[in-house]
Amino acid sequence: MRLIPPTIDADTNRGERLVFEMLERADDADGWTVLHSLDIADHNRQVAGEIDFLVVVPGSGVLVLEVKGVRRIARHEGVWVYGDGPDARSDRRGPFKQASTAMHSLRERLVRSRPHLAGVPFWSAVCFPLLDFGESSEEWRSWQVIDRRALAARRPTELLAGVLQNGRRRMQERSVAGFEPAAGEPTPAQCEEIVAAVRPDFELFESPRSRARRIEEEIRRFTEEQFAALDSMARNPRVVFDGPAGTGKTLLAMEAARRGATAGRRVLFVCFNLPLRFWLADRLAELRPRGMVDRLAIAVGGACALPMDGQQACDGSGPGVIVRSLHEQMLHVAGIQPEGRRLDSPFWLESLPELASERLLEQQARLEEIAGGESEGGSSTSGGTIPGESGPAPDGGPPTDAAARLAPDVFDEIVIDEAQDILRRSYLDFLDLSLRGGMDRGRWRIFGDFEFQRIYREHGSMTLEELDPDGRWPVCELRVNCRNTPSVTRLACACVGVDPTYCRVLRPDEGEPPEIRGWHDADAQIEVLSRCLEELRAEG
């Protein structure tokens, strides 16, 4: 069976999804084509009509299937009522007339331009997958009803074929003009013609750009289901979110940063990868602190902080989210430029973190000096508040204006993405000084794949156990894949020889298997990858 399109929108009602999934699993319908959610622009009685499912079966006919995915249906004085309570809706046509009208409209449109299809049987039926429908009327025949009871007793393809066979029998009994039972219409060629006429192949009308937007929206929607992980950890000021690829860590990190800014905190969002930094800064632009002018980080053998469009770079003031790559933030704090040093040079791994940490120590010292002068005998810690002004505890709310002026690079909260590449002692020392209260008492959210994606292990990146050997910080495990389809997930796991043990994969398959391209050496690998990227960019 061919399903067009091969996927169904996640927002589609439960009844239609149930029917789609039943047909998707069918293995006894060779040569069948099923189209769903088909708009009929030339609908006879409406400006636009819609067919839930159009089933094209060689040698049997064309069936318009209307699906009513409600648990209650009633008819009073000619008015059909679907559902109950405040969500109930009424319709004078009823599902059988709706399906019949759409069927006749479609047939007339086809035969008008293709008279040779006049002998092809067209019929309609109504499916009630969530209820038992026992009503009878002169408006429909019992074999045009497929309800929950029927679906439980027989295969859906058997039921659909039965409707068409009963329809053919009735046409023969009534000697319908043009219908020749022995002709076996529609032939396979006629089936292809009908499908091509009513709905071109899905890939032909969904542009790559449109598909990319659809997939991005799908991923966003499924990732929002994971927001429960943030909700469950909301009372914990320090949390590690650990999950393999595809579990929505980056989007969850974005949501965590948004929540921090909304609560009035000044949030530093740190990642390791510069392209990801650009993407994050674009998506979180509305959350920048007031008056902030972002720096453009240029990566050619290293990170370099530059002003944008000649404007004076500025971090702004007040609460908000500042997005930086780790090295970009260290360069900013240290007030230096890298002069083209390589990423794995001692400068990036040791010298830069030390220089930036020294600047942060100076900022912390200014805070402690004022705190000591105004609070005799008081103690101060990294990121302490200033007595005499309304400042929060290290785990608490927004900073005072004075604290922000004295320590502009010390934040109320830090969100770290790609943490598996950032957990290096020199980097953590820098981040510790960047946070009010430090890593022990401050507020932070760490997101990473600490099992499968530690790319920079040889540079001293720590494991989660090395980071927190005493188990002081709660770890929220993410195991729901909301980014990849099942086929992509299986292939990726097989290729790298790992099993991330996802408990669920949310996105459905799209009917097309992943495309595999090979190479024979490192140079060919780069060439193949470059070609793939060029093709994707050309598609939009």
| DSSP letter (8 states) at residue 290 | B
Residue-level pLDDT at 412: 94
**pLDDT tens digits for range 233-274:** 989 999 999 988 888 899 899 999 999 999 999 999 999 988
Helices (H) and strands (E) in the chain, counts: 19, 19
pLDDT at 405 over 60: yes
Q: Which domains does the chain have, with CATH numbers?
A: 2-205 (no CATH), 226-291+315-330+342-481 (3.40.50.300)
pLDDT at 60 over 90: yes
Residue-level pLDDT at 307: 41
Instruction: Assign 465 a pLDDT band (cuts: 50, 70, 90).
Output: confident
Sign of CA dihedral 178, 181, 186, 187: negative
Buried b or exposed e, range 286-297, using 16+ CB within 10 angstroms: ebbbeebebbeb
| Residue among 226, 241, 227 at smallest CA distance from 474 | 241
d(CA 167, CA 55): 14
Q: Please tell me which residue, 326 or 7, carries the higher pLDDT value.
A: 326
Q: List the structure tokens of 342.
A: 């390589």
Q: Any idea of the CA torsion for 21, 22, 24, 26, to the nearest 10 degrees? A: 170
Residue-level pLDDT at 413: 97
CB-neighbour burial class of residue 496 (10 A; exposed 0-12, middle 13-18, buried 19+): exposed
Q: Please tell me which residue, 291 or 355, carries the higher pLDDT value.
A: 355
The Cα-based distances of 406 to 363, 367, 437 in angstroms read 6, 6, 15
d(CA 301, CA 456): 16
68 touches 82 (CB < 8 A): yes
d(CA 14, CA 439): 46
Residue-level pLDDT at 160: 97
- Residues whose CB is less than 8 angstroms from the CB of residue 245 and which lie 6 or more positions away in sequence, other chains included: 449, 452, 453, 483, 484, 492, 500
**pLDDT tens digits for range 182-212:** 889 999 999 999 998 887 533 344 455 666 6
Other CB atoms within a 10 A radius of the CB of residue 342 amount to 11
Mean pLDDT of 43-59: 72
| Residue among 67, 15, 93, 53 at smallest CA distance from 198 | 53
Residue % of the chain over a pLDDT of 90: 42
Q: Please tell me which residue, 428 or 340, carries the higher pLDDT value.
A: 428
Other CB atoms within a 10 A radius of the CB of residue 96 amount to 19
Instruction: Assign 499 a pLDDT band (cuts: 50, 70, 90).
Output: low
pLDDT at 430 over 90: yes
| Residue among 239, 120, 102, 114 at smallest CA distance from 168 | 120
Other CB atoms within a 10 A radius of the CB of residue 513 amount to 11
d(CA 48, CA 500): 47
Q: Please tell me which residue, 440 or 464, carries the higher pLDDT value.
A: 440
- Give the neighbor-by-neighbor strand order of the sheet with 238-242: 320-325, 266-271, 413-416, 443-448, 238-242, 475-477
Q: Tell me the one-letter amino acid at 261.
A: A
Could you tell me whether strands 266-271 and 89-91 are parallel, antiparallel, or unpaired per DSSP bridges? unpaired
pLDDT at 220 over 80: no
Q: List the structure tokens of 511.
A: 């009917």
d(CA 258, CA 255): 5
Residue % of the chain over a pLDDT of 70: 77
d(CA 294, CA 313): 6
pLDDT at 441 over 50: yes
With residue 260 as reference, give the H or E element that holds it: helix 249-262
Q: Please tell me which residue, 126 or 51, carries the higher pLDDT value.
A: 126
> Phi/psi of residue 112, each to 5°?
-60, -40
CA count, 13 A, side-chain hemisphere, 166: 16
d(CA 34, CA 462): 53
What mean pLDDT value characterizes the chain?
Answer: 81
